A and B are shown apart, each in its own frame.
Chain A
Amino acid sequence: MGTFGTIMLIAVTAMFINNFVVVQFLGICPFLGVSKDIKSAVGMGVAVTFVMTITCLITYPIYTYILVPLELEYLEVIVFIFVIASLVQMIEAVIKKFSPTLYNAMGIYLPLITTNCAVLGVAELVIDVGTAEALGLASMGILNSVAYGFFGGIGFLIAIVIMSGLREKVKNLPISKHLKGFPVAMLTATFIAMAFYVFSMISL
């Protein structure tokens, strides 16, 4: 399988079969918290995709070329969370300086991303041997890791946009007051998860 084929495989796997939100349950907090209207859902989704892609670009080389040769693998959690926290701060500062329009669109979502499980999750997943084996590879390599991060983020974007669209419809329905809020949001997510379940039957 060529490089292009591998990347297509990663795209389908990360976006649909192992969708970060509804299949792997990563990034549920923003999925429930920032999905009340479509506009903010899109902003959050784009910001998460952006950070996930850059995180993979930085954490994968750090783990493979610095921590593994020095036999410091056990420091991965501390190193990753520090890289992500400083990365998010840096991206925020850079965007603020160079593109005020982009900053207005996704600036307020950036600080929330540091504690988004999807970002730390993707950093852990791309160094995990199981992820590479599922794709039929010996190890991920930097290009595939970045692709996994990017398409994982797109999967998050798809899920959160569907969710916000459904929630805009659901909020006008007459619902028992004990079900209002989180329970009904979870029930909405149930149906999205059922839709994504179909993709798990695809064998590539």
Chain B
Amino acid sequence: MNKFSKIASNGLIKENPTFKLILGTCPTLALTTAAFNGIGMGLAVTFVLICSNVLISLLKKVIPSNVRIPAYILIIATFVTIVKLVLDKFIPSLYDALGVYLPLIVVNCIILGRAESFASKNPVTDSALDGLFMGLGFTVSITLMGAVREILGAGAIFGFKLWDFSIDFFASSAGAFFTYAIFIALFNFILYKIEQKKKLSLLEVK
């Protein structure tokens, strides 16, 4: 249980891929014009991340270490192809919205990074959990960012119109960089405050 909560808090907060490790920035900036894109992209990445982590963890003794990167990329590309075919067939609207960023999941640093730093050293169940929570951390982060940009830039949320007021800046590419900057800074600030509080309470106990 302790290990479970450790992996969970690692993926969601301590090593949040989007706001802490700053990985997978391309889809984060490009697809957060709408909250729904965030969920779609996040779940696609989560699926690929869990599958590739499990397979790489299973094969960690078989893959020779000097060709491991090409081997990982091939495994990841296979799962991305599966996701691409499934989305094209069943959710074509999401397939169109994600566009070129769907095949680009292959070169998403989060997936290769977790394969290299976690799945290749840990047992299968831990790797699957790590994939799940890293993926969820990514999903929650980009959905939040998408929601903020959609509310401010289009006056809507998940496609439902809220009001006629909108600031075009947040829908533009400059707004993507701006929102991301503010989110990272806020995330760091909140983590810093929590840490300080912890330190203070430890001192008081002593």
Contacts and interface: CB of A to CB of B under 8 A. Distances in A.
Interface of A: 22-29, 32, 74-78, 80-82, 85, 114-117, 120-121, 124-125, 128, 178-179, 182-187, 189-191, 193-194, 196-197
Contacts of A124: 100, 103-104
Interface string B98-109: 001001101101
Contact of B77 (A77, A179, A184): A77
B136 interface: no
Contacts of B107: 81, 114-117, 120
B81 A77 contact: yes
Given A24-B30, A26-B26, A193 B84 contact: no
Given A28-B26, A115-B112, A179-B185, A190 B174 contact: yes
11 contacts: A76-B103, A78-B74, A114-B107, A178-B189, A179-B185, A182-B184, A185-B181, A186-B180, A187-B177, A187-B181, A190-B181
Nearest to B192: A178
B73 A74 contact: no
A111 B77 CA distance: 19
A117 B22 contact: no
Nearest to A28: B25
Contacts, number: 111
B103 A184 contact: no
Interface of B: 22, 25-27, 29-30, 70, 73-74, 77-78, 80-81, 84-85, 100, 103-104, 106-107, 109, 112, 172-178, 180-182, 184-185, 188-189, 192
Given A117-B26, A182-B184, A184-B181, A25 B176 contact: yes
Contacts of B25: 25, 28-29, 32
A70 to B, nearest CB: 16
B146 to A, nearest CB: 14
Contacts of A125: 100
A25 B103 contact: no
Given A121-B100, A178-B192, A193 B177 contact: yes
Nearest to A184: B181
A13 to B, nearest CB: 15
Contacts of A114: 73, 107
Nearest to B77: A78
A125 B130 CA distance: 32
B173 A23 contact: yes
B106 A77 contact: yes
Nearest to A22: B173
B188 A178 contact: yes
A77 B4 CA distance: 34
Nearest to A123: B103
Given A26-B104, A81-B77, 10 more contacts: A25-B27, A28-B29, A77-B80, A115-B107, A182-B22, A183-B188, A186-B181, A190-B181, A193-B177, A197-B174
A120 B173 contact: no
